[in-house]
């Protein structure tokens, strides 16, 4: 029975290691205009025989950004050079990411292939699931 358990444990481990969810990565290059980064995953691939290998460079990975409304249309007080003034923001603020080579980021992997992503429901067409090709930089860790 112990032999059967070892087989099932090893089989379950292989399945788990093939499902990508979230991982740390190092930024190699960042294109601020396109909001895309080339990254190197910091986790290694672990094969069935126990050998390990670094993942290849992931190129043109989209980087998450944020859009906020801050008191839109509502006046607020702001101090500039020691002088208090009333200001008002009349538009949305977009916080564009800024990454540097060497930054450690957290990367998520889409449940299905992102190749055909649009603003409507779509058939991913490809059979990839939780694949490193469908990475998205979610934020900076360090």
Q: How do beta strands 36-41 and 22-31 pair?
A: antiparallel
Regarding whether 104 and 36 lie in a shared domain, the answer is yes
Q: What is the CATH number of the domain that holds 130?
A: 2.40.50
User: Residue 86 is part of which domain span?
Assistant: 67-94
Number of domains in the chain: 2
Instruction: Report pTM.
Output: 0.77
Regarding whether 57 and 108 lie in a shared domain, the answer is yes
Residue 1 has pLDDT above 70, yes or no: no
Tens of pLDDT, residues 81-139: 999 988 887 777 778 899 999 999 999 999 888 877 878 887 788 788 888 899 999 99
Residue 11 has pLDDT above 60, yes or no: yes
């Amino acid at each position: 029975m112990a032999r059967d358990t070892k087989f099932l444990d090893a089989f379950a481990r292989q399945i788990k290691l093939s499902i990508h969810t979230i991982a740390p990565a190092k930024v190699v290059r960042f294109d601020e205009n396109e909001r895309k980064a080339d990254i190197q995953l910091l986790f290694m691939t672990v094969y069935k025989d126990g050998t390990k290998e670094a993942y290849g460079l992931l190129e043109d990975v989209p980087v998450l950004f944020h859009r906020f409304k801050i008191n839109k249309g509502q006046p607020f007080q702001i101090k500039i050079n020691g002088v208090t003034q009333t200001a008002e923001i009349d538009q949305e603020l977009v916080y564009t990411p800024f990454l540097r080579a060497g930054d450690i980021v957290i990367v998520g992997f889409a449940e299905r292939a992102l190749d055909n992503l649009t603003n409507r429901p779509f058939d991913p067409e490809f059979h990839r699931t939780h694949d490193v090709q469908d990475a998205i930089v979610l934020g900076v860790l360090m």
